[in-house]
Structure 1
Amino acid sequence: MKMKSRLLLSSVILVGLSGILNGCSTKETTTADGTEDKVILVGTQNDYPPFAFADENNELTGYDIDVVKEVDKRLDGYTFEFVATPWDSMFLALESNKIQAVADQVAKTPEREEKYLFTDESYFAAETVIVVKSGRTDLQTLEDLEGKKVGALAGDSYTLLLEEHNKKAEKDIILKYSESGTPSEILQDVQNGRVDAYVNDPIMINSVMKKYELDLEVVGNPLVNDQIGIVFKQGEQGEELKALIDTILKELKEDGTLADLSVKWTDGEYIPE
């Protein structure tokens, strides 16, 4: 196991899109023992609790952050630093090599796997559910959402699910794309009636509901069960990182580290078999 300085272990970079587009694509850093590590910039959101969010000190924390930090501890030759990145800029930053990996509860889908590299080892098993204002009983399924206004973030797996449904539905779900780009804003729109519902992960939903004291509830059965992986750009560097990180994710799964982190952040073990 490598030894690093406290500064490198806790390093978090909070930047906007302009900072991402102007940042360096590759660099090295000197560790406590004098060796050179390649720095891998990992993109993640800063408003997606409990997976990735900014704490009271404006540093990124959460389940996904802790998983990458555990990988970092066990992988010699690399240092991982986090870049707070809006969802709608995430894959642009990856494609332009402003970040070299994404750890942001990204679900594996056939469409995404055609464009990007995912770790074979999933580090979280996520559900997709419908959330509405408490007391509402008419929305339980995707079909129930047809003709209703549903909050959406462009390009995420939950929105893609709704867009795919619309391709074959007689009546479209009316997608209201968020200008802010944050799930918490959409959940507040459900609360105040701007939209009828939102589709996302129940753990994040419950975390935001508690934080903002929202009177919402999850309804119906899970729509989808997703496997979550770390994402890389296609190419030599991505292939190298994927192979290295897959081995470590398997270790973290087998020795119970992922289960412990899942319980810490979600109160349950949501680890794929």
Structure 2
Amino acid sequence: MKKEWKKPIIALLILVLTLGLAACGGAEESKNDSENGNAQGQDVINVGTMGTYNPFSFAAEDGTLTGYDLEVLREIEKVDNSLKFNFVAGPWDSLFVGLDANKFQMLANQITSNPDRVEKYYLTENPYFTCVSQIIVKKGRTDIQSLEDLQGKTIGLTVGDSFTRLVEDWNAENGNILTIKYYEQDIVTILEDIQTGRIDATVNDPIMAKDKAEVQGLEIDVVGERIAADPTYFIFQKNDEGKALRDKVDAALATLLESGRLSELSIEWFGVDYTK
């Protein structure tokens, strides 16, 4: 009689263990689905982006990554439903490293072309935006209107970005008259140092700089003529997989350009068509 009461308990324990193992197996399948694709058979493409580069790439109040660059890719998903993008935020100096290591399969962060990038990576044939380069100074400052005016002063630039390359090339062609202070931090640190007088100016995208300054309560002015206006591209690994992905994204971009949807998106975000 004493052994009879143990049978239901043993059966119950076996049932609990069986269900527990089944639940673990289900969780692993779900994880694999998330990593390798979704229910429609789409491959999930990890896209490296800063997530702090307003208004092109930033986190919304609910934590969702958004911004003009990322919304262009969401429009591309609508054109080609075989594409599914997963946005992964990281600091600027980690993006190309992550692409090289296949942590990302592409980059979206207002990236312009230069010879080094063309040699090492695939870029979309179609640009999706025109990135403007201008001088940014403390509000009310009138003695700086050109790079020549920065002789004897200090300009702050971010290590490794296209604006830095632009200024470095100009400086080399003009007798290295500029004193450059390099930053690894986000441009907010540069704008703060401009306001406090630690440096005199920077060169960057005025749309992004104004947005950052407004959020941080910093007072800046964009001065002088445009130094450059360069198209921006999505960036891919230089291998067969990268080329195939680039070609699919390019085809969808061409559709968005021809339909006028890309122009509409630029106007929605900035009030101006920066796609031309």
Moved more, 130-139 or 224-233: 130-139
> Which of residues 264, 269, 273 is equivalent to 2:273?
269
| Pair 1:202 & 2:206 matched | yes
**Residue by residue, what CA displacement relative to the aligned partner does 1:26-63 show, whole Å, maximum 9, x if unpaired?**
942223xxx32111100111111110011222221110
- State the SS of the aligned residue for 1:42: strand
| Pair 1:75 & 2:85 matched | no
Structure 2 distance, partners of 1:206, 1:108, is 23
> Which of residues 254, 257, 264 is equivalent to 1:260?
264
Query: Which amino acid counterpart does residue 49 of structure 1 have in structure 2?
Result: N
> Which of residues 213, 218, 224 is equivalent to 1:220?
224
- State the SS of the aligned residue for 1:223: strand
Query: Which amino acid counterpart does residue 28 of structure 1 have in structure 2?
Result: N
| Pair 1:29 & 2:30 matched | no
> Which of residues 157, 166, 172 is equivalent to 1:167?
172
Q: CA deviation at 1:172?
A: 3.6
Contact 1:52–1:62 at 8 Å: present in 2 too? yes
Structure 2 distance, partners of 1:54, 1:172, is 39
Query: Which amino acid counterpart does residue 38 of structure 1 have in structure 2?
Result: D
Contact 2:99–2:236 at 8 Å: present in 1 too? yes
Q: CA deviation at 1:196?
A: 0.6
Structure 2 distance, partners of 1:127, 1:77, is 33
Contact 1:50–1:266 at 8 Å: present in 2 too? no
Query: Which amino acid counterpart does residue 73 of structure 2 have in structure 1?
Result: V
Q: Which runs of 5+ in 1 are unaligned?
A: 1-23
**Poorly superposed stretches of 4+, deviation over 3 Å:** none
Structure exhibiting the larger radius of gyration computed from Cα positions: 2
Contact 2:38–2:44 at 8 Å: present in 1 too? no
**1:103 corresponds to:** 108
**1:230 corresponds to:** 234
Normalized against structure 2, the TM-score is what?
Answer: 0.84
- State the SS of the aligned residue for 1:30: coil
- State the SS of the aligned residue for 2:207: helix
Structure 2 distance, partners of 1:111, 1:224, is 18
Query: Which amino acid counterpart does residue 38 of structure 2 have in structure 1?
Result: T
Query: Which amino acid counterpart does residue 136 of structure 2 have in structure 1?
Result: V
Query: Which amino acid counterpart does residue 222 of structure 1 have in structure 2?
Result: R
CA RMSD of aligned residues (A): 1.7
Normalized against structure 1, the TM-score is what?
Answer: 0.85
**Residue by residue, what CA displacement relative to the aligned partner does 1:165-192 show, whole Å, maximum 9, x if unpaired?**
232332442222224x211221122111
- State the SS of the aligned residue for 1:121: coil
Contact 1:42–1:81 at 8 Å: present in 2 too? yes
Structure 2 distance, partners of 1:146, 1:249, is 42
- State the SS of the aligned residue for 1:57: coil
- State the SS of the aligned residue for 2:42: strand
> Which of residues 127, 130, 134 is equivalent to 2:135?
130
Moved more, 188-197 or 81-90: 188-197
| Pair 1:182 & 2:190 matched | no
Query: Which amino acid counterpart does residue 204 of structure 2 have in structure 1?
Result: N
Q: CA deviation at 1:145?
A: 2.1
Query: Which amino acid counterpart does residue 77 of structure 1 have in structure 2?
Result: S
Structure 2 distance, partners of 1:117, 1:58, is 30
